[in-house]
Amino acid sequence: MNIRPIIELDKKYSKQLRIAEKPGVLRSIAIFFSHSGDSWFWAIGLILMWFFCDATFKKFATVIFFGIGGLAVVVFAVKFFFKRKRPEGEWGTIYRSTDPHSFPSGHSARAFMIAVLGTLLLPGWLALVLWLWAPLVAFSRVTMGVHYLSDVIVGAVLGILVAFFGLQIYQPLVDWFFSLTGFRFW
């Protein structure tokens, strides 16, 4: 099967969606959503949440914190295997220098994993906010020129799958840890 035509369409449509070089309000909004999926941002926020929030949010913070770590391993393994270069561009120097590979999008995977886990661990209204936020993060990565459409689509699917897989091992692992140590996170 020749996937070259699909890759070319992916590049073409991704390029048409780019606004990274176009100053204005839409670009500013895209930058905000693009950075809102940064792992360092979430790590700091989750640590603060764990120290200053109630048990519901402590549990969410703990699950997401370790989920982000596990997901990062999966995303980087896939990126290392495919080694697809990011689209050419100037915006996102930090992403381009620390991780030159685009497939799959780690931001997209992270956002959708957080939305899935938020659905199970947070109040409904907050889960809804996360489900509105996740596609905006993914789309912003394309509009800012650091990913192709296929990168964010596969990233979203990967994030959802890792969330569901993680849920399968989460409870037995927590039970084992608590029985072994007697320590409670929340």
Task: Give the model confidence (pLDDT) of 24-82 as tens digits.
Answer: 999 999 999 999 999 888 999 999 998 998 888 888 888 898 899 999 999 999 999 99
Asked, for residue 104, whether it belongs to a domain, the answer is: yes
Tell me which residue has tokens 């519901």: 56
- Residue 93's domain spans which residues? 25-181
pTM: 0.88
Q: Give pairs for 52-58: CB < 8 Å, separation 24+.
A: 55/186, 56/121, 56/122, 56/123, 57/122, 58/185, 58/186
Whether 138 contacts 155, CB under 8 Å: yes
| Distance in angstroms (rounded) separating the CA atoms of residues 79 and 165 | 20
- Residues 79-118: tens digit of each pLDDT: 999 999 999 888 888 888 888 999 999 999 999 999 999 9
Over its C-alpha atoms, the chain yields an Rg (Å, rounded) of: 18
What pLDDT band is residue 175 in, cutting at 50, 70 and 90?
low
Asked, for residue 74, whether it belongs to a domain, the answer is: yes
| Domain total in the chain | 1
Asked, for residue 30, whether it belongs to a domain, the answer is: yes
Asked, for residue 6, whether it belongs to a domain, the answer is: no
Asked, for residue 2, whether it belongs to a domain, the answer is: no
Asked, for residue 32, whether it belongs to a domain, the answer is: yes
- Residues 124-155: tens digit of each pLDDT: 999 999 999 999 999 999 999 999 999 999 99
Asked, for residue 12, whether it belongs to a domain, the answer is: no
Asked, for residue 15, whether it belongs to a domain, the answer is: no
